[in-house]
Structure 1
Amino acid sequence: MAGEPQADCLFCKIVTGEVPATIVRETDTTVAFRDINPQAPTHVLVIPKVHFRDAAELAAGDPQAMADVLREAGEVAAQEKLDEHGGYRIVFNTGAGAGQTVWHTHAHVLGGRGFNWPPG
């Protein structure tokens, strides 16, 4: 059920502390941690503590939690001083074809290098 922790979800296990992660920020509703396979000098994932499959499901099912994820992505960027290094990206991969591999909503905060446009 959406919103409820899933026993087989890696990110739900990070939320509960069952799986270790390098946590850089935590609020009542979110956890931010370093990606284990970084794609930029700074690559932090921001997740809601509630379980929703992807960004669209989270936005529809718990708009406040989605707002919390986006706010925390900005806080992570500020904490990591990404504005001082040319800016940053906030990316949601939604669906396997877009690169989503963990089925728990997560925002990638990427910075510390230049990015080309268009992405992908």
Structure 2
Amino acid sequence: MTSDFYCDEALSGRTPIDVVRETKNVLAFHHTRPYWQIHIVVVPKVHIPSLTDLAGHDVSLVYDLLDVVRDVAAEVEAQYGACRVVTNLGRYQDSKHLHFHVGFGEQRK
């Protein structure tokens, strides 16, 4: 397993995070370096490399993850009138730990 921010920092507690939602299998928190005005990251609590590589984990973990993504996105959309949900794969994926970005607003400078 390669190192990644989510396992090594956010999930380990080494980097402080502002938790938005937490379940048995999923953690949602405000991005530590937000790209948008509202930028929430949703991750599984176990290392899953990507949406296309579940590393042997049961797909039910992805369902749990998407359930939290849906709830967080619905809250952002209700509060701000719009929302984006993004995940990246391959060379677009900086951290090789499955995660979704839930965002609103313009790019921060």
Gaps of 5+ in 1: 114-120
Q: How far, CA to CA, are the matches of 2:97 and 2:29 in structure 1?
A: 14
Q: Over aligned residue pairs, what C-alpha RMSD do you find?
A: 2.2
Q: How far, CA to CA, are the matches of 2:16 and 2:33 in structure 1?
A: 15
Higher normalized helix content (fraction of residues): 1
Q: How far, CA to CA, are the matches of 1:58 and 1:35 in structure 2?
A: 23
Shift of 1:72: 0.4
Match of 2:63 among 64, 67, 84: 67
Please tell me whether the aligned partners of residues 86 and 112 of structure 1 are also in contact (alpha carbons under 8 angstroms). Answer: no
Report the AA paired with residue 4 of structure 2.
C
Please tell me whether the aligned partners of residues 28 and 40 of structure 2 are also in contact (alpha carbons under 8 angstroms). Answer: yes
Match of 1:54 among 41, 50, 57: 50
Shift of 1:103: 0.9
Identity %: 34
State the secondary structure of the residue aligned to 2:47. Answer: coil
Please tell me whether the aligned partners of residues 91 and 107 of structure 1 are also in contact (alpha carbons under 8 angstroms). Answer: yes
Match of 1:33 in 2: 29
Q: How far, CA to CA, are the matches of 1:104 and 1:42 in structure 2?
A: 21
Shift of 1:93: 0.6
Gaps of 5+ in 2: none
